[in-house]
Amino acid sequence: MSKEKTKTVLLEAGKRVFLEKGYNHAGIEAIIQAAGVPKGSFYYYFTSKEDFGLQVLDSFAECYNENFERDLGDLTLGPLDRLRRYFDSACARIQSQECRNGCLAGNLSQEMAAQSEAFRARLEEIFDGWVNRYAVVLGEAQQLGEIPPDIDVHELAEFWLNSWQGAVLRAKTIRSIVPLQTFLNVMFGLLLHVQP
């Protein structure tokens, strides 16, 4: 296995193990076993478990941003249709995992934001990036007259992210996508008046 592939395998294993057990309950040994690599490989790429955790988070955010660009950057659809498609896809993905995993950034926020300033700062940066990406699409919708001109799209984007993260947490807790469907119905139907 090439060096770059080994690192990727470790990061992917870290994502899986952190989603399943959380950061604090995920031992390096469990991560190495999940990756199927020798212990020395871990310390070749990562100086500590925190360094590894931050790189797992970066890898997760990179994948998340790729999904953003795939769905939200598709200019063949209108802005609200792009948002709806993105969140429908996210809902289907969470349902396919039986609502067990949630969102890695959300999970780590609950677990690590008060324990590690490095994690807290990186999570804040990731969430700010997501809010800004939502705000861009909502701003496009506003320019097209799909959102009233007096709405602050950045504030709406902040509310959007906060509400979605809460819905994901509830879905994980009750093992049902009902909270996600409620979120979509309220955001698109009641607030934005968009039909499914």
- Express each pLDDT in 127-150 by its tens digit: 999 999 999 999 999 999 999 999
For tokens 């804040």, name the residue. Answer: 124
- Count, in order, helices (H) and strands (E) of the chain: 9, 0
For 113, which DSSP code? Answer: T
Show the tokens assigned to 176: 């049902």
Mean pLDDT of 22-30: 94
Mean predicted lDDT score pLDDT of the chain: 93
Measured over all CA atoms, what is the biggest interatomic distance in the chain, rounded to whole angstroms?
Answer: 58
pLDDT class of 19 with cuts at 50, 70, 90: very high
Question: Does residue 196 surpass a pLDDT of 60?
Answer: no
Q: Please give the DSSP secondary-structure letter assigned to residue 20.
A: H
Asked whether residue 22 carries a pLDDT value surpassing 90, the answer given is: yes
Q: What is the average pLDDT across 180-184? A: 96
DSSP string, 148-168: -TTS-HHHHHHHHHHHHHHHH
What pLDDT is recorded for position 1? 58
